[in-house]
Structure 1
Amino acid sequence: MGHRILAGLLSLYVVALSAGCAQTSAIRIGKSEPRRSDARAGVGESDTSRLSVKNKSLNTEAGEIQLTSSEEPPLVPAPTEAGSGELSLEHNSGSVVLTLAELESLALQNNPTLSQAGAAVDQEWGAYRQSGLYPNPQIGYLNTSANQSAPKQSNGVFLSQEFVTAKKIPLSQAADSQEVKRLQWDQEAQRMRVINDLRIRYYEVLGAQKAVAVNRQLVSLSEESLSTAEKQFLGKSVPKTDVLQAQVLVNSSRITLAEANHRLEAAWEQLATMAGVPSLPVTTLSEPGNDEIPDLDLESQWQQLLAESPQLKSAESELDHGWAALRQSEAQAIPNVTVQVVADYDRVTQSTTASTLVALPLPIFNRNQGNIDKAMADVRVDQADVARVQLVLRDQLADSFRRYKSSRVQAETLTKSILPASEENLKLTMAAYKGGEVGFRDVLFAQEAFAQSQIARIEAVTEAQKVAVEIAGLQLTGGLNPAAIGSAIQTQGGGGSRQRALLQEVQDRAAKQLLPAAQIGR
């Protein structure tokens, strides 16, 4: 009889416990399948689907905290995974040209930092899930043996459960959900870093390809000048020094061509490394339809940066986490309640007893004051960090626009003025030399000025396109750095220093070289 009563008490307690646990539900954020984003094929096109975070509100009715359907946390697109359209190396090696879209597909599949960023999100998902679990009940067995002073011999069981009050579990999940969103924004930022770095190196390879083509033409031109000098020397119309200078020019042009080829090889290695396939065979890249530099406006790009920057969204999510952690710390001051039920059966008196114990700590000395103060300070730190990120982005954008404007002006000036003038100057000088009107030194100056003008234009256009990628890509670079480090760490090879040196060389050559017409008329 006593055992049946004991079993009945335990059954009733388990039913009551299940009902109590069901009343305190956690935030449920569906871990939906990551959305796939298509990468841009060019700077001028709209980037991969932009993300916007709507204001979040928590519904605390009926003991629950749930994100409403219109305000669920944004699931930032994860790195594109290999699927039916994945690109294989065999496809690369057999292609005539390799497109930017194919390179982006390779990078999204193979870049290890994207796997790291995805794993960090999964780790936080685990923490979020764990924080929503209710404390386990405790069950135990007790035995009392009879003695002379207490002729009692009983066996029994006890069951205890800690009941969480003040909606601590939902508040804990609310804090963890903000961490999930922060890491999702970090994951999206890393994906954009990989894509931006790939595009920067893509334009670097295109510029190197063009430089090789120009230097090949210059080698042919210098060889033609050597042939002309040799013919005129045989006709005794020019001294042997002209032939020697022409030979020096040919050898110098060949050295420059070799350097251009080395630069192309290094640029390709960097491109293949960013794609995650260092063994990618050298392949001709498909070029954009023209060298047009996109027209960008500082204020428009700044507003876009404020609205869409994953770095800024990550900082804002960290601030939201701070507020949630503060609410969680305030709730921790309210003690939990522990209920224990003990039931035993005395074999001596053949009686069953059941007792209930209710316990909770009195918040007299410890009311979680220290953690509350810390959480409030963390909120102030996070608020300051949002402002700091905005200032950093503005500073980066200002520097990028300085380089963008400088490169664009140089490219336009070289294209419209310097390059046509140097080309015409070379033609006139060559014609004058064949007619015996000028010396070979003038041909040498004209040819070098034309060569440097062409290379400087390629450098200016390439630099402008690369900086445009940085600007349109929300200042996110550093695709091989861990996502936790952030951007503005890696430096891109072939930047402004080489471009400025080439432009100075063009200016120096122009200062030394007079137009043939002016020389003839002296």
Structure 2
Amino acid sequence: MKLNWIAALGLLVALSGCKTVHQPFFTSDQTAAASLALKVDEKKERTKPMNRQAIQQVAFQQDVSSSNDSTRDSTYDAEPVVTPDAQPFVGVTSLAQLEQVALANNPAVFEIQADIESLRGKLTQAGLPPNPTAGIVGSDINEDGESFGRYGVYFGREVVRGNKLGYSRAAVCAEIKTAEQRLAVIQQRLLTDVRQRYYDLLVAQETVTIADQLFKISQNAVDVSQRLLDAKEAAQTSVLQAEIEMQNASVVKRQAENQRLAARRKLAGLLGESELSLGHVDGNVRELLVIADFEQSFDQVVNKSPEIAALFADVEQKRRQLQREIVEPIPNVTWQASLQHDFLTDDLIPGFQIGMPIPIWNRNQGSIHQTRYQIVAAERRADKKVLDLRQRLASAYESYLDAKLQVDAFDSEIIPKAKETLDLVNKGYREGEIGFLQLLTAQRTYSQINLTYLQQLKQLWRQHVEIEGLLLSGSLE
């Protein structure tokens, strides 16, 4: 009798642990219905979607086989995200070094990396089958006041049909790809921010240099005025005016130093450093680069933008989710086997039952309809983003051209002539041929021209970096 019990229990345990073999779940009619469910009723659409073929290749260039087999990449083998060690500021002076430190230290990057890692856990969970069930069963207990009735054990399991687990994993894989594109977006935003702050700091450093030169010019004017006063060739008012101009130049110099300090702090903040430990950065702010014309720039932005890639990754994720919703009505099978011992007759009584829900009223039609039009909405968001990028590029390109026109004019004509004028006025003033009022006018003109030039140079670099950065900035927003 004990051997019979042991054999029966062993058989039930083996049955409960058997691997489920997924049988084909679509008949030809069901396959046709599934294909129709993936299509949107074009008659109900009032707008025609834009051509997105070239952009989709950017978003899924590493997953070109997904269109042929929706569950092919359900075993997602990407390596876990490794959080890099924080990088120190010591010796960091070039733009490339600043970018490397920012990517290694900025919390916005860590946030998206953590989201991706959490989705890997979701991917693992999505492919796990339901656990088997086991328990004790009893019946006819003390029915006649003397019998112990029947006692035994049961084992059961839910068999998932329709390859639901595979489709669930495929949907999460697409969700991971979307998150990876979001990571690319935040990395590009961060790089654009770092480059803009870097050139802001270069301009601020250049402003301090020019302000210091102007201060020295005003000091020299005071010395010259004092010598002319001593020689009784100028009035006391000339010295006072020169000293006032020197004080004004001193204020401009201190303001420039404050701007440099603020630019340094803003850049240090992007690098993930709370204390200011960033010194002088290397670079030539006057070494201008030329960008392509508007249409070429637009093609580059659209074809390389991780924003567009993320939106189409979201479209793909919803398409895979629709496939998962389509197979949801295919009922899972639940079976249960039991073995009881009748203490009255000393018999072993095996039992078995199997069941499944009957999809009569609920065939998941509501979720299928909802997901289908979520796909339409996601596609329209991608179309809208393309139009939005063109609008944003138009504004950025206009600002770039305006700033470039002014910078070119300053470089080729205005600054050289202003410098030549100031040199001639200084020479004439030292020789007593030109009055002090003309000297002050020339100094103010030269100062204002240089400060305006630097502001236009700053604006030019900001627009240049934004266009080259695919119009992505604001990593901490």
TM above 0.5: yes
1:328-370 deviation digits (Å, cap 9, x = unpaired)? 1111111111111121121222222222111111111111121
Partner of 1:88: 88
Q: Quick one: which of 383, 398, 403 aligns to 2:399?
A: 403
CA distance 1:438–1:59, change in 2 (3 Å): closer
Partner of 1:105: 100
CA distance 1:14–1:406, change in 2 (3 Å): farther
Would the aligned equivalents of 2:157 and 2:334 in 1 still touch at CA under 8 Å?
Answer: yes
- Distance in 2 (CA, whole Å) between partners of 1:17 and 1:79 is 39
1:250 and 2:246 correspond: yes
Q: Quick one: which of 181, 206, 209 aligns to 2:205?
A: 209
Partner of 2:131: 136
Partner of 1:67: 73
Greater shift in the superposed pair: 104-113 or 370-379: 104-113
- Distance in 2 (CA, whole Å) between partners of 1:209 and 1:130 is 54
Partner of 2:408: 412
1:48-72 deviation digits (Å, cap 9, x = unpaired)? xx986345434998xx93239xxx9
Higher relative contact order (CA closer than 8 Å, sequence separation 6+)? 2
SS at match of 1:411: helix
Partner of 1:389: 385
Consecutive unaligned residues in structure 2, runs of 5 or more: 24-57
CA distance 1:252–1:448, change in 2 (3 Å): same
Letter in 1 for 2:72: Q
Pairwise CA distance, 1:382: 0.8
1:111-169 deviation digits (Å, cap 9, x = unpaired)? 11111111111111111111110001111101232422996722211111111111111
Pairwise CA distance, 1:223: 1.0
CA distance 1:150–1:288, change in 2 (3 Å): farther
- Distance in 1 (CA, whole Å) between partners of 2:164 and 2:97 is 49
Would the aligned equivalents of 2:119 and 2:172 in 1 still touch at CA under 8 Å?
Answer: yes
CA distance 1:307–1:373, change in 2 (3 Å): same
- Distance in 1 (CA, whole Å) between partners of 2:81 and 2:206 is 35
- Distance in 2 (CA, whole Å) between partners of 1:149 and 1:223 is 118
Q: How many equivalent pairs are there? A: 443
Partner of 2:464: 468
1:368-414 deviation digits (Å, cap 9, x = unpaired)? 12111211121111111111222222222222211211111111110
SS at match of 2:340: strand
SS at match of 1:284: coil
In the TM superposition, 1:157-172 aligns within 5 A as 157-172=153-168
- Distance in 1 (CA, whole Å) between partners of 2:87 and 2:336 is 62
CA distance 1:402–1:466, change in 2 (3 Å): same
In the TM superposition, 1:28-427 aligns within 5 A as 53-58=61-66, 65-67=71-73, 81-82=84-85, 87-89=87-89, 92=90, 95=91, 98-144=93-139, 145-148=141-144, 153-288=149-284, 291-427=287-423
RMSD (CA atoms)? 2.7
Would the aligned equivalents of 1:77 and 1:188 in 2 still touch at CA under 8 Å?
Answer: no
- Distance in 2 (CA, whole Å) between partners of 1:76 and 1:400 is 38
Pairwise CA distance, 1:278: 2.5
SS at match of 2:192: helix
SS at match of 2:154: strand
- Distance in 1 (CA, whole Å) between partners of 2:82 and 2:204 is 29
Greater shift in the superposed pair: 332-341 or 298-307: 298-307
Would the aligned equivalents of 1:79 and 1:191 in 2 still touch at CA under 8 Å?
Answer: no
Would the aligned equivalents of 1:139 and 1:158 in 2 still touch at CA under 8 Å?
Answer: yes
Would the aligned equivalents of 1:98 and 1:284 in 2 still touch at CA under 8 Å?
Answer: yes
Partner of 2:44: none
Pairwise CA distance, 1:206: 0.7
CA distance 1:387–1:76, change in 2 (3 Å): farther
Letter in 2 for 1:276: G
Partner of 2:445: 449
Pairwise CA distance, 1:280: 3.4
Q: Quick one: which of 420, 437, 440 aligns to 2:436?
A: 440
CA distance 1:467–1:420, change in 2 (3 Å): same
Partner of 1:428: 424
Question: TM-score w.r.t. structure 1 length?
Answer: 0.79
